[in-house]
Amino acid sequence: MAAPDVTIYEVGPRDGLQNEPETVPTAAKLELIQRLGLAGLRRIEATSFVSPRWIPQLADAADLAGILPALPDVVYSALVPNPKGYERFREAGGIQVAACFISASETHNRKNVNCSVDEQIERIRPVAERCREDRVPLRSYVSTVCGCPYEGAVSLDAVVALVAKLLALGIEEISLGDTIGVGHPGQVRELVAAVAAETSLERIALHMHDTYGRALANVQSGYEAGVRIFDTSLGGLGGCPYAPGASGNVATEDVVDLFERAGIETGVDLDALVDTTAWLERAVLQRPLPGRVYRARLGAREHARGRESA
C-alpha cells in the first residue's frame, strides 16, 4: 500500500484516557488500540510510563505494553518523562517509540513534571542517550507553544530555542503542542516558519487541542505551512490534567475528513473509526464524545436507519 500523504498520529489512548475521571480497564484499552490499528491508524500513542501517583489512569502501562497486538505497519509510542520512565518502558517491551515532554513555559512545566524547564532538559538528556544506544526512536513534545494556562503568552523565541535544544539532544521528531487550544492560524503559520529555520518539517508534528474551536483551522494552517504529521484523538477525547480547562485534542475524524475531502490521503477508514468511537462512547465511557464529524456521521447513520425501517 502506498504511503498516505499525511500521518495521523493517534493520541486518544494516552492523551485521552489520562484525563478520564474513571480508569478504563486494561482489556478495554487493548480493544480500543486494536480497533484503531484495524481502522488504519499507523501511529498510536498507547500509554505513559509516568508516575502512577500523578496519572493513575495509566498505571497499567507495563501490563498493556506486554499484550499490545503486533499489527502490520502499526508503530506504538509511549510517554517517558525521565530515566526511570525509560527503564520501565524498556522492561515492558512491546512499544517501539519513546516520547518525552517538556513545556515552553516554566509554570506549566513545573505543574506537569515538577521541575524547571532546564531541569527537564537534563532529565531528557540521558533518555536521549539511552535511546541512541538502544536504537529506539525518540519523539519529544513541546507543550504550551501557543500560550500557557498560568503565564499567558509564550514567546516564539522561547519555543524555537527549546526546539533547538531538543534537536541538539538528537531527538528525531518534535510535536508542537497547543496544550490549551489558544493558538490561531496566523500564529501557527509563524511558528512553523520559525521552526522550519531549525530543521526539516518532516520532523515536526502539530498537536492541537480544540478548547477555543480553532484546532482544525490550525491544522489546515500547519498543513499549508508544510507540516505533514498531525496528532489527533478519536472523538475529540482528552485534555491535559495539568492545564485547567483544556479540552480534548482535535478529533481524528475531523482531521481525516478535512484531508480526505481535499484529496489528501490519510490511510484511515473513516467508517471503521466512527464504529470505534461509537463503541468507546457506549461500551466503555458511557458519555457522549464531542467530535463534530463523528457526531454528524452517527446522526446520518441513524437517519438512514430510520428511513429503512419507515
CA dist., res. 119 & res. 132, Å (int): 21
CA distances from 261 to 6, 42, 201, 264 (A): 13, 20, 23, 7
Indicate the residue among 130 and 232 with the shorter CB distance to Mg ion.
232
Indicate the residue among 112 and 276 with the shorter CB distance to ligand HMG.
112
Indicate the residue among 15 and 173 with the shorter CB distance to Mg ion.
15
- The least CB distance from residue 107 to ligand HMG, in Å, is 14
Count of residues touching Mg ion (by CB under 5 A):
1
List interacting residues with ligand HMG (CB under 6 A).
15, 18, 48-51, 54-55, 79, 81-82, 84-85, 88, 101, 112-114, 141, 143, 177, 179, 207, 209, 240-242
Which of 96, 124, 95 lies closest to 109 in space, CA to CA? 124
Q: What is the DSSP string of 31-77?
A: HHHHHHHHTT--EEEEEE-S-TTT-GGGTTHHHHHHH----TT-EEE
CA dist., res. 102 & res. 302, Å (int): 43
Active-site residue, selected from the candidate residues 100, 131, 146, 240: 240
**Interface region with Mg ion, contact rule CB under 5 A, candidates 7-15, 65-73, 101-109, 286-294:** 7-15
CA dist., res. 21 & res. 27, Å (int): 18
Q: Which does 54 bind (CB under 5 to 8 A by kind): ligand HMG, Mg ion, none?
A: ligand HMG
Half-sphere exposure of 97 (CA within 13 A, CB side): 21
**Interface region with Mg ion, contact rule CB under 5 A, candidates 8-16, 64-72, 110-118, 285-293:** 8-16
Q: Is 240 annotated as catalytic?
A: yes
- The least CB distance from residue 284 to ligand HMG, in Å, is 20
Report the residue number whose CB is nearest to ligand HMG. 177
- The least CB distance from residue 9 to ligand HMG, in Å, is 11
CA dist., res. 102 & res. 252, Å (int): 24
- The least CB distance from residue 200 to ligand HMG, in Å, is 21
Choice from 6, 13, 15, 211 touching Mg ion (CB under 5 A): 15
Give yes or no for a contact between 225 and 189, defined as CB atoms under 8 angstroms apart: yes
**Interface region with Mg ion, contact rule CB under 5 A, candidates 15-23, 32-40, 91-99, 162-170:** 15-23
Indicate the residue among 101 and 294 with the shorter CB distance to ligand HMG.
101
For residue 185 the three cell numbers come to 492560524
CA dist., res. 254 & res. 235, Å (int): 9
Reduced to 3 states, what is the DSSP secondary structure of residue 186? helix
Q: By CB under 5 A, is residue 210 in contact with Mg ion?
A: no
Indicate the residue among 18 and 82 with the shorter CB distance to Mg ion.
18
Which of 55, 53, 35 lies closest to 44 in space, CA to CA? 35
Indicate the residue among 36 and 59 with the shorter CB distance to ligand HMG.
59
Give yes or no for a contact between 257 and 219, defined as CB atoms under 8 angstroms apart: no
Binding site for Mg ion (CB under 5 A): 15
**Where in the sequence numbering do the catalytic residues fall?**
240
